[in-house]
Chains A and B, each alone.
Chain A
Amino acid sequence: MTLSGSLLTRIAVLILVVVFFQIGVVSEVPVFGVTVDLSPLVVAFVGLLCGSTIGAATGFVVGLLVDLALVQTLGVTSLIFTLIGYWCGRLRELRDPQATLTPLLVGAAAAAAAAVGYSLIEFMLGVDAPVSLELLRQIVLGVVVDTIFALPMWLVVRRSLEPGLPDDPRRRRRRAYTTGGLSPLSRS
């Protein structure tokens, strides 16, 4: 997918708004004892809408912003989010899933990948914390809570980016079939 000026602006604004909203508001409000993390969701959904290259680049930028703003180890979040954005983009390019529950599943997978990815990298960097039941509980609860927020987040991301997206021929064809416009049956 080619990156138009309009799409680039929309993605940049979306990233900034989500990152600051995440840091300023969402992080302050625990849900079921864990904090909702919108950033992997936004990366996954940008990948799902715009493809792997844009998804990976968005993941890198979001990760870098999060690491810079929260004074975390630079590169950790960028690495995880780059891979999440890329994989979600590849999912769109290879399968182009259209089911209503796709954002829910993709959101859950992205949240799980982010949580497990952080843990793995932190273990590799030498953080002294064994895998405990409490840790697993926090990760699972975090993924569940992020999944709850996946659908609203998907609507926000899609509404923000859709006007800037080029018309996809595959989707145009599918829409035409479902509305009867190009169906061979309608002509007979």
Chain B
Amino acid sequence: MYDKTVRRRRAVLVLLVVLSLGLLTAYFGEAPSGRLHSVQRGFLTVVSPIQDGANKVLKPVRDLFSWFGNTLHAKSQLAEVRKQNDILRKEVIAERADEHGYHELLGLYHLDQLSLNSYRPVTATVVGKSPNLWYSTVVIDKGTSSGVQKNDPVVNEEGLVGKVAQAASDGAVVDLITDSEVGVSARINGTNATGVVQPKVGEPNDLVLQYLPGGTAANRGENVVTSGTLESPDDSLYPPGIPIGQVSSEDEESGFKSVNVHPLADLHNLNVVQVLTYTQSSKPARLVGLQSSLPSAGQSNPGSGEGNPLTSASTGVGG
């Protein structure tokens, strides 16, 4: 009797471990269009309305907990924000004048810039977030039925959040900018030197802007924004000028310069995001199509928009 119990217990354990390993191997080995991925997308389609409902019902509970943390955080930032506000007010006054001149020039030369007007923002609620340190993804409640497609840029009120990795009919998975799969063509605001923003290896909450030309000026606190160029044909075409983060320190080695960037968007506290969707005949779609139809001209120099004639051509002045 005892032997039978022991045998059954061990058999159950072995069966479950083998099943887990089988799932892991099959999932890891198959293509994103494979059967297990489809099951996962199907599950997401079924579960996302429930998650959305639970999310709305439990929002007061979440807000209560967040309130304590946010109050403490806000108090510690108040003095710094006031100082920044004074500086920004002066900058805004100066930039309004520049902007006026810029629009006049645009009209004069009939330049058709790639701007946010080319996109249709879809507001979505974050309904799933992994507690695991290793997964930099969130699940949102809008999918292909709302026009969300793979690779669409995702932003919130603070700045760039990431891009859509997978889209089901009523939900989508968003890869955050801190995910190792994501690379964003970016530049330091006020300069023309472009690089690629990627997660900092070993520090999952920080970013690094790599492949900047040597000698590029980068001061602490300067904003890093999207350049509006594509890094590779299967990448997302982020509109130019979306804030990504602020320079925290710099590093120069082997002719290239890299700067450490602290993301502006609080990626641990995402509730509402906007997916920048576009229609098949829109300007972003045409530019992505153009990029994928041409030979990979600039791939030998991945970080530099200057070395990639296509990326520079596709979006005008690159942001």
Chains A and B bind each other: yes
Q: Which B residues between 8 and 29 are near A, CB-CB below 8 angstroms?
A: 8-9, 12-13, 16-17, 19-28
CB–CB B54/A20 < 8 A: yes
Q: B204 at interface (Cβ–Cβ under 8 A)?
A: yes
- Total cross-chain contacts (CB, 8 A): 160
Expressed in whole angstroms, the Cα–Cα distance for A3 and B158 within the complex equals 51
For this complex, into which size category does the number of interface residues on chain B fall? 35 or more
- Which residues does chain B contribute within 8 Å of A29, judged by CB atoms? 62, 65-66, 69
Name the contact of B133 in the complex, choosing from A31, A72, A142 (C-beta under 8 A): A142
B288 CB within 8 Å of chain A: no
* Minimum CB–CB distance for B48 against chain A, Å: 9
A5 near B: Cβ within 8 Å?
no
Query: Main secondary structure on chain B at its contact with chain A?
Result: helix
Q: Which 3 A-B pairs have the closest CB atoms?
A: A75-B24, A132-B202, A75-B23
Q: Does A26 have its Cβ within 8 Å of any Cβ on chain B? A: yes
- A68-B43, A71-B40, A75-B23 known; A118 vs B28 contact (CB < 8 Å): no
Residues of A within 8 A of B (CB-CB), count:
57
Tell me the B residues contacting A by CB distance below 8 Å.
Answer: 8-9, 12-13, 16-17, 19-28, 36, 39-40, 43-44, 47, 50-51, 54-55, 58, 61-62, 65-66, 69, 126-135, 137, 139, 166, 173, 180, 201-205, 268-269, 271
Report B-chain residues with C-beta under 8 Å of the C-beta of A142: 133
* Secondary structure call for the A interface: helix
Q: When chains A and B are docked, how far (Å) is the Cα of A106 from the Cα of B166?
A: 37
Query: CB of A160 within 8 A of chain B?
Result: no
**Using Cβ atoms and an 8 Å threshold, which residues of chain A touch B28?**
73, 125
Nearest CB of B to A131, in Å: 8
Q: How far is the CB of A148 from chain B (nearest CB, A)?
A: 14
B50 CB to nearest A CB, Å: 7
Residues of chain A with a CB closer than 8 A to B132's CB: 37, 70, 72, 118
Q: Which A residues are CB-close (under 8 A) to B61?
A: 25
A115 to chain B, nearest CB (A): 8
Instruction: Point out the residues of chain B lying under 8 angstroms from A127, CB to CB.
Output: 134, 180
